[in-house]
């Protein structure tokens, strides 16, 4: 029986309207691939195994996604691969971790995907073998590859915040921008710092394939801001917030069903397990396709005014911002996630050579951003202390 048979005719017509009028699309099909069986004490052999496995398992990913997109008339914008955090393999092999980045980049080019994520380290409680070497190599790895994305998890609700990692990431973010200053500082745009990172995130630049996942999994990311905004625009301005919340919940359910339909079909085509559907309210280049407009539709005169809880995703700051200030921005965002038991992600992009009010433009779904002002009072003494910010008492639940 076709997956489409679970949708009635009104569902289908509503989906068509969402695609045509409200920028609904499948943002990404992301194949997660475990590389644990590619580990080797010889880094060259490990890189060869990685290239072979990615090409073997994901070689038909783009074709399968395009075939499904044509079948249902639903755009699938990006096809991506995520892999086991490479710091794990680097700890086994030693050697220069940049070799792993180049192997990932080569495989991504060969199979034709848009990005490959997983040049990553999980250091929320401390550094194990390979972690520091990988983190210190991130700027070079992102400068010398095209499609590789990187992420580092520096905190969690149970562990607190690893301030030694926060300090190091401030330095690495700044260096990633400097090494790619001739390319709109793209290195920093492909680098995410997490608190409470999840194992099955299909979205770049933060995707990696968690240790608790199956060997190969196909997950879907769906873009929904325009659809949610359209639903809210049709509601009375005096509708109570519980009705607004209910409308958002019902719309999110419909959107994720579309993602499930497409993801299940692509997974079956590839003969792999279907993973999760992740609904993104992150902005796209399409006009009106942003969570900011949703907040304004709910009733804020302008997103950012009182009443907005402003989480950082991608912010562009002046290129002469110090590494310690960048670390402090990262720590602020991590603290929000740690206290609230939520995943928070931040990409801080120092715009080398640009000043406040100028703009970086990365093109595609990485988008663009104006250079925003940053407070100049120094947090250096706190950042240089290192150590760990303790977890809140709620971490004792288990």
250-280 residue pLDDT tens: 777 777 777 777 888 888 888 998 888 777 6
Average pLDDT over residues 183-209: 88
Q: For position 258, what pLDDT does the model report?
A: 76
Q: For position 391, what pLDDT does the model report?
A: 78
Report the alpha-carbon distance of residue 178 to residue 20 in Å, rounded: 41
Q: Which of 363, 373, 335, 364 is nearest to 28 (CA)?
A: 364
Q: Which of 114-118, 181-185, 347-351 has the highest mean pLDDT?
A: 114-118
Q: For position 395, what pLDDT does the model report?
A: 54
Percentage with pLDDT > 70 across the chain:
80
Q: For position 153, what pLDDT does the model report?
A: 95
Q: Is residue 5 part of a domain?
A: no
* Total Cβ atoms within 10 A of residue 287: 9
Please report, for the domain that includes residue 87, its CATH number: 3.20.70.20
How high is the mean pLDDT of the chain?
A: 81
Q: Which domain holds residue 170?
A: 24-389
- What is the number of domains present in the chain? 1
Q: Where are the beta strands (DSSP E) in the chain?
A: 25-33, 76-83, 115-122, 148-156, 160-162, 191-195, 216-223, 273-280, 314-318, 344-351, 359-363, 367-370, 388-389
Q: For position 394, what pLDDT does the model report?
A: 60
**Helix or strand or coil: residue 371?**
strand
Q: Is residue 394 part of a domain?
A: no
80 DSSP assignment: E
Average pLDDT over residues 143-154: 95
Average pLDDT over residues 59-73: 88
Please state the pTM of the whole predicted model. Answer: 0.82
pLDDT exceeds 50 at position 289: no
For residue 363, what are the contacts with CB-CB under 8 A and spacing of at least 6?
none
The burial of 355, by beta-carbon neighbours within 10 Å (0-12 exposed, 13-18 middle, 19 or more buried), is given as: exposed
Residues forming beta bridges with residue 26, ordered by sequence position: 76, 222
Sign of CA dihedral 281, 283, 288, 289: negative
pLDDT tens-digit readout, 87-146 = 999 999 999 999 999 999 999 999 999 999 999 999 999 998 899 999 999 999 999 999
Report the alpha-carbon distance of residue 55 to residue 181 in Å, rounded: 31
For residue 303, give both structure tokens: 């997103």
Residue pair 24/17 in contact by the 8 Å Cβ criterion: no
Q: Is residue 195 part of a domain?
A: yes
What is the maximum alpha-carbon separation in the chain? 65
Percentage with pLDDT > 90 across the chain:
35
Q: Any idea what the Cα angle at residue 294 is, between residues 291 and 297, rounded to 5°?
A: 155
Q: Is residue 12 part of a domain?
A: no
Q: Any idea what the Cα angle at residue 236 is, between residues 232 and 238, rounded to 5°?
A: 110
Q: Is residue 232 part of a domain?
A: yes
For tokens 């009182």, name the residue: 306
Residue pair 374/325 in contact by the 8 Å Cβ criterion: yes
Report the alpha-carbon distance of residue 210 to residue 33 in Å, rounded: 9
* Total Cβ atoms within 10 A of residue 144: 16
Q: Is residue 100 part of a domain?
A: yes
Q: Is residue 2 part of a domain?
A: no
Alpha helices in 192-319 (DSSP H): 225-233, 241-270, 291-298
pLDDT tens-digit readout, 360-381 = 877 666 667 788 888 778 888 8
Q: Is residue 281 part of a domain?
A: yes
Q: For position 26, what pLDDT does the model report?
A: 76
Q: What are phi and psi of 389, to 5 degrees?
A: -80, 120
C-alpha distances in Å from residue 170, one per residue of 166, 284, 332:
6, 27, 12
For residue 314, give both structure tokens: 């991608």
Q: For position 356, what pLDDT does the model report?
A: 81
pLDDT tens-digit readout, 302-340 = 554 444 444 656 778 888 888 888 888 888 888 888 887
Which has the minimum average pLDDT: 81-90, 195-204, 224-233, 377-386? Answer: 224-233
Beta strands 367-370 and 359-363 are antiparallel
Sign of CA dihedral 153, 154, 157, 158: positive
For tokens 């200053």, name the residue: 181
**DSSP-assigned states of every residue in 165-219:** HHHHHHHHHHHHHHHTGGGTTHHHHTEEEEES--TT--SSSS----TTS-SEEEE
Q: For position 1, what pLDDT does the model report?
A: 39
pLDDT exceeds 50 at position 287: no
Q: Which of 6-20, 230-244, 323-337 has the highest mean pLDDT?
A: 323-337
């Amino acid at each position: 029986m076709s997956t489409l048979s679970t949708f009635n005719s009104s569902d289908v017509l509503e989906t068509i309207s969402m695609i045509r009028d409200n920028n609904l699309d499948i943002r990404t099909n992301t194949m997660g691939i475990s590389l644990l069986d590619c580990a080797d004490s010889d880094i060259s052999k490990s890189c060869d195994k990685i290239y072979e496995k990615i090409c073997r398992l994901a070689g038909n990913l783009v074709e399968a996604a395009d075939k499904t997109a044509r079948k249902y008339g639903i755009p699938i914008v990006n096809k991506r691969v995520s892999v086991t955090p490479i710091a794990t393999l680097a700890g086994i092999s030693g050697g220069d971790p940049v070799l792993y980045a180049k192997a990932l980049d080569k495989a991504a080019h060969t199979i034709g995907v848009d990005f490959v994520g997983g040049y990553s380290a999980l250091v929320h409680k401390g550094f194990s073998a390979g972690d520091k070497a990988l983190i210190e190599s991130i700027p070079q790895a992102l400068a010398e590859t095209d499609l590789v994305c990187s992420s580092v998890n520096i905190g969690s609700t149970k562990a607190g915040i690893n301030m030694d990692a926060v300090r190091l990431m401030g330095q690495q973010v700044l260096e990633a921008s400097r090494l790619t200053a001739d390319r709109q500082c793209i290195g920093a745009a492909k680098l995410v710092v997490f608190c409470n990172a999840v194992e099955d995130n299909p979205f770049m630049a933060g995707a990696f394939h968690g240790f608790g996942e199956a060997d190969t999994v196909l997950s879907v990311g769906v873009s929904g801001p325009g659809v949610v905004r359209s639903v809210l625009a049709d509601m009375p301005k005096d509708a109570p917030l519980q009705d607004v919340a209910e409308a958002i919940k019902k719309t999110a359910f419909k959107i994720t069903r579309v993602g499930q339909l497409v993801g299940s079909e692509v997974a079956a085509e590839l003969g792999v397990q279907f993973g999760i559907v992740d609904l993104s309210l992150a902005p796209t280049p399409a006009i009106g396709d942003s969570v900011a407009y949703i907040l304004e539709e709910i009733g804020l005169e302008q997103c950012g005014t009182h009443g907005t809880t402003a989480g950082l995703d991608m912010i562009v700051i002046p290129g002469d911002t110090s590494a310690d200030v960048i670390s402090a921005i990262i720590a602020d965002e991590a603290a929000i996630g740690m206290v609230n038991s939520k995943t928070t992600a931040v990409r801080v992009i120092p715009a080398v050579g640009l000043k406040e009010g100028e703009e970086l433009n990365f093109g595609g779904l990485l988008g663009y951003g104006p250079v925003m002002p940053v407070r100049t009072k120094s947090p250096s003494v706190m950042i240089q202390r290192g150590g760990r910010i303790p977890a809140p008492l709620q971490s004792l639940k288990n």
